[in-house]
């Protein structure tokens, strides 16, 4: 289907590209409750129901499968990690973790906060329900936890196994495993995770289903500059390794009639 040939703007504008850039994405991509968005913090409404999350299984150190899926680097999490709380209507199973980035430190995140983009953005994608029964399509089928990533001068040890795996998955549709990573170690300290923004939106990739309860945490993750540069140095969009994987970022979408909330 046309969506198999969807791509980002940086790929679509290549002379002989035959892929569809963001303004040609189909599915629900042209609807009006889309993601990402710019978050204007002073217009976000405090909602006291936005309690802290509880993370189950995030502390387990595991060997994870990671892959280059041609759009990002994706870590498969289907193993029983899940979240509750955060004013979510049920428990949500962790499915996969992936990132978006640019080489430009100021345009690698999909969401922006008061117009500021970060170097990268990490998404942990969850699906409603228990590992035995997931629910069908609905506005709250998915919950994505979004973390901004800044570049600093300290190595982030929790990300090193993922960074070292990147050269093994430089081509699309390649897999490898990373060992001894715990999701919890990759995230900001738990007490920092009480501050977040919340809105109803979509997948930021085709078919852009409007099924996502978005949580954008205020506290950024920090990576060393060299760790950050590895993503756009080691990963490629194409088999021929002509196009490095960077700017895998959808442009911000109109908020429209939606309200952004904050904890």
φ, ψ for residue 10, nearest 5 deg: -60, -30
Helix (H, G, I), strand (E, B) or coil at 42: helix
Identify which range of 123-131, 155-163, 184-192, 214-222 contacts Zn ion by CB under 5 A.
123-131
Residue number with CB closer to ligand 6CC (193 or 224): 193
Identify which range of 52-60, 82-90, 183-191, 198-206 contacts ligand 6CC by CB under 6 A.
198-206
β-pairing, 142-152 vs 120-128, is antiparallel
Min separation Cβ 42 and ligand 6CC, Å: 25
Residue number with CB closer to ligand 6CC (112 or 142): 142
Helix (H, G, I), strand (E, B) or coil at 131: coil
Measure the CA–CA gap between 70 and 53, rounded to whole angstroms: 31
Pair 79, 62: CB distance under 8 Å: yes
Measure the CA–CA gap between 43 and 196, rounded to whole angstroms: 14
Measure the CA–CA gap between 55 and 53, rounded to whole angstroms: 6
Residue number with CB closer to Zn ion (144 or 193): 144
Q: How would you write 205-245 as a 3-class SS string?
A: CCCCCCCEEEEEECCCEEEEHHHHHHHHHHCECCCCCCCEC
With tokens 């442009």, the residue in question is 251
Identify which range of 10-18, 174-182, 201-209, 220-228 contacts ligand 6CC by CB under 6 A.
201-209
Residue number with CB closer to Zn ion (67 or 123): 123
Catalytic residue among 71, 111, 117, 123: 71
- Per-residue binding string, ligand 6CC, 121-160, x by CB under 6 A, is --x-x----------------x-x----------------
Residue number with CB closer to ligand 6CC (143 or 223): 143
Q: Is 71 a catalytic residue?
A: yes
With tokens 């990573």, the residue in question is 181
Measure the CA–CA gap between 122 and 25, rounded to whole angstroms: 22
Residue 212's binding partner among ligand 6CC, Zn ion, none (Cβ under 5 to 8 angstroms by kind) is ligand 6CC
- Per-residue binding string, ligand 6CC, 62-101, x by CB under 6 A, is -------x-xx-x-----------------------x---
- Per CB under 5 A, the list member of 20, 67, 74, 123 interacting with Zn ion is 123
Where on the chain is the footprint of Zn ion (CB under 5 A)? 123
State the catalytic residues: 71
């Amino acid at each position: 289907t046309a969506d198999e040939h969807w791509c980002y703007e940086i790929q679509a504008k290549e002379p002989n590209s035959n892929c569809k850039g963001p303004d040609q994405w189909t599915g629900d991509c042209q609807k009006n409750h889309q993601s990402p968005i710019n978050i204007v913090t002073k217009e976000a409404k405090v909602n006291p129901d936005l309690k802290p999350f509880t993370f189950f299984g995030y502390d387990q150190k595991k060997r994870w499968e990671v892959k280059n899926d041609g759009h990002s680097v994706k870590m498969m999490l289907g193993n029983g990690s899940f979240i509750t709380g955060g004013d979510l209507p049920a428990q949500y199973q962790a499915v996969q973790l992936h990132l978006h980035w640019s080489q430009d430190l100021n345009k690698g995140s999909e969401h922006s906060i008061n117009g500021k983009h970060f170097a990268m953005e990490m998404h942990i994608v969850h699906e409603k329900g228990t590992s035995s029964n997931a629910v069908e399509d609905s506005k709250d089928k998915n919950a994505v936890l979004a973390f901004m990533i800044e570049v600093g001068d300290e190595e982030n040890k929790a990300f090193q196994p993922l960074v070292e795996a990147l050269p093994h998955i430089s081509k699309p549709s390649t897999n490898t495993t990373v060992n001894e990573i715990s999701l919890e170690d990759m995230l900001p300290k738990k007490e920092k995770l009480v501050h977040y923004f919340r809105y109803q939106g979509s997948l930021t990739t085709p078919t852009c289903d409007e099924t996502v309860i978005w949580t954008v945490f205020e506290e950024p993750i920090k990576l060393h500059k060299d760790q950050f540069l590895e993503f756009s140095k080691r990963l490629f969009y194409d088999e021929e390794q002509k196009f490095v994987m960077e700017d895998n970022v959808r442009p911000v979408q109109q908020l429209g009639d939606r309200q952004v909330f904050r904890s």
